[in-house]
A and B are shown apart, each in its own frame.
Chain A
Amino acid sequence: MSLLALSAPILADRVKKGEIRAAHVVEESLARIEAENPRLGAVLHVAAESARSAARAVDAAIGRGDEPGPLAGVPILLKDNISTIGMPTTAGSRILDGYLPLYDATVVEKLRGAGAILIGKTNLDEFAMGSSTENSAFGITRNPWDMTRVPGGSSGGSAAAVASAMTPVALGSDTGGSVRQPASFCGVYGLLPTYGRVSRYGLIAFASSLDQIGPLARDLGGIRAVFDAIAGHDPRDATSSPDSGMARRDGALRVGIAEGLLSRSGVETGVAARLNETAARLERGGARLVPVTLPDPDKAVATYYLIATAEASSNLARYDGVRYGLRVPGETVESMMRRTRSAGFGREVKRRILLGTFVLSSGYYDAYYVRAQKSRALLRRAFLQLFETVDVVLLPTSPTAAFAVGDRTEDPLAMYLADVFTVYANLAGLPALSVPAGRDAAGLPVGAQLMAPPFGEELLFAAAKHLEGTAA
């Protein structure tokens, strides 16, 4: 069996005991990427030499009897919107082609400190805007389970890489479902931590009130190990929280079942069937099922796209051809900026910048942006009330299994509706976990999503523990 099929903490344990060398694990990962990446397009940049030297350092530390960290020798891939010093960080955009960050993101520092080995960077929808990894300036990523289908997005490269065992774990970012939906499409686990739990310092910003970094892994142990390594307060991210998580209450886990969502149009029968089975498994594991009603998912999507695009239009104003990245020459600074941005941004990014500009523009601000903020406040309040009666909520991660490449690229609204069940957690600042829930009739993975109150990651893990072993 390949070492890369091991759970990250088990792999780290064997490295620490000296049973296997980190250098050997890294070679396996590099070989796997070389074999699989040409067909999948999951990895944009491989940092072979720095990975080898980091592995040698871990092996040397173990040889000296030093503590190499909880992720010793574990190879990891990072979504290419997470800054890595001296290693390309493109965010999937032409506008950052060739850009080499001057600093590491906090999560990168923490992973290095934990002994993990950075293998490279994964493909994504440009600036994390998309649900299929078809919006990257550097080509599409394909789903390892069916090459004619998308891996989901925007962390599709990380999900495809983990599903195809290039590495046991990877990092993605989740603004409206971008870790959980690709995890669901690729049959792996994906965690959105509570807003504030993981530092975003060094994450290329899309929508700052929604963005979070989260792990993807083929097993729950891998998710927990990476989450433990990257969580924690960081003074360099002003939204970072010192809260270290809430304790679980005693007694049976109360699982809210959002039954109404399963009969919604657009939810595939295979998804509904796997969700019902997941609920039954939780009940058999000792959980108490409680029917709940969630806020209108269409309103949540509408709220999300107004807030996310407004924030994106502001965040992406920084790409002006002056300080880093692409520059297209112009006669004046203004024409240089316009030409640079027009050539550097792809279609979906321009669409979202324009929508966000509209939402924030004079005359429309109250009708769109302020109304969306009110709707967000109502939604958050509804969820906090709901969590007074249940510990977690179970719902599909996505209404469908992986769709075909090219299926939704011409219809932005259809693409946005891929996020219909995932935007809740971002809007309300909740943690959420996508868990493999089996396959549909076509053999495609289906994901079940668990949501918990803020800082309730342990509740998610406790619920997911009941479900471990469900075939992906």
Chain B
Amino acid sequence: MPISERTIEHLARLANLDLDPDERERLAKDLGAILEYVERLADTEEGTALEIPSMTQLREDTPTPPLPSGVAVSVAPERHNELFKVPPVLGSERPKPA
């Protein structure tokens, strides 16, 4: 299935990636080739039940000591006291200092 550069641009937006024009062109070509290869699954028996075995065993619902927040933020690229610090979430204007 051919993939257009517009589709690649849409996927990149969904995946939070910026791509330059060269990357877009290349990825469109690569993904097209890969999707052509996976076309061989098209005749997979319809109506096959999804029987992926579930081995999940949930833990007892008992609280255990969490990672202290000061320790958790110690590896963050930017922090403020025991908080993760990020650029403004809304808009591009930086809030004026109080």
Residues of A whose CB lies within 8 Å of any CB of B are: 99-100, 102-103, 195-196, 209, 235-236, 238-242, 296, 298-299, 301-303, 305-306, 313, 317, 320-327, 329-339, 341-342, 345, 347, 350-351, 353-355, 357-358, 361, 368, 370-378, 380-381, 412-413, 416, 429
> How near does chain A come to B94, taking the closest CB pair, in angstroms?
8
> How near does chain B come to A326, taking the closest CB pair, in angstroms?
7
Check B38–A354 contact: CB distance below 8 A: no
Check B58–A238 contact: CB distance below 8 A: yes
Residues of B within 8 A of A (CB-CB), count: 55
Q: A305-B34, A306-B38, A373-B52 are in contact. Are A350 and B27 (CB under 8 A)?
A: yes
Which residues of A sit under 8 angstroms from B58, Cβ to Cβ? 238
Q: A102-B71, A305-B34, A333-B88 are in contact. Are A374 and B8 (CB under 8 A)?
A: no
Tell me whether B67 is interfacial, beta carbon within 8 Å. Answer: yes
Tell me whether B92 is interfacial, beta carbon within 8 Å. Answer: yes
A326 to B78, CA, bound (A): 10
Q: Write 20 A-B pairs (CB below 8 A) sorted by A numbering.
A: A102-B67, A240-B57, A241-B57, A296-B40, A305-B38, A306-B38, A322-B86, A327-B78, A331-B92, A332-B88, A338-B17, A351-B27, A351-B31, A355-B31, A355-B34, A372-B41, A374-B45, A377-B49, A378-B44, A413-B34
Name B32-61 residues within 8 Å CB distance of A. 33-35, 37-38, 40-42, 44-45, 48-53, 55-60
Check B45–A342 contact: CB distance below 8 A: no
* Contacts across chains A and B counted by CB atoms under 8 Å: 160
Looking across the interface, which residue of chain A has its beta carbon closest to that of B7? A358
1/0 per position for B55-86, CB-CB distance to A under 8 A? 11111100000010001111111100000101
**Which residue of the partner chain, among A236, A303, A321, contacts B77 with CB atoms under 8 Å?**
A321
A235 to B91, CA, bound (A): 43
A29 to B39, CA, bound (A): 49
Which residues of B sit under 8 angstroms from A345, Cβ to Cβ? 17
Tell me whether B15 is interfacial, beta carbon within 8 Å. Answer: yes
Looking across the interface, which residue of chain A has its beta carbon closest to that of B72? A102
Q: A305-B38, A332-B92, A374-B45 are in contact. Are A327 and B77 (CB under 8 A)?
A: yes
A332 to B92, CA, bound (A): 6
Check A361–B11 contact: CB distance below 8 A: yes
Which residues of B sit under 8 angstroms from A103, Cβ to Cβ? 67
A371 to B75, CA, bound (A): 40
> How near does chain B come to A2, taking the closest CB pair, in angstroms?
38
Which residues of A sit under 8 angstroms from B86, Cβ to Cβ? 322, 333, 336
Q: A102-B71, A321-B77 are in contact. Are A354 and B92 (CB under 8 A)?
A: no
A376 to B53, CA, bound (A): 11
Which residues of B sit under 8 angstroms from A320, Cβ to Cβ? 16
Check A342–B17 contact: CB distance below 8 A: yes
**Which residue of the partner chain, among B44, B52, B57, contacts A209 with CB atoms under 8 Å?**
B52
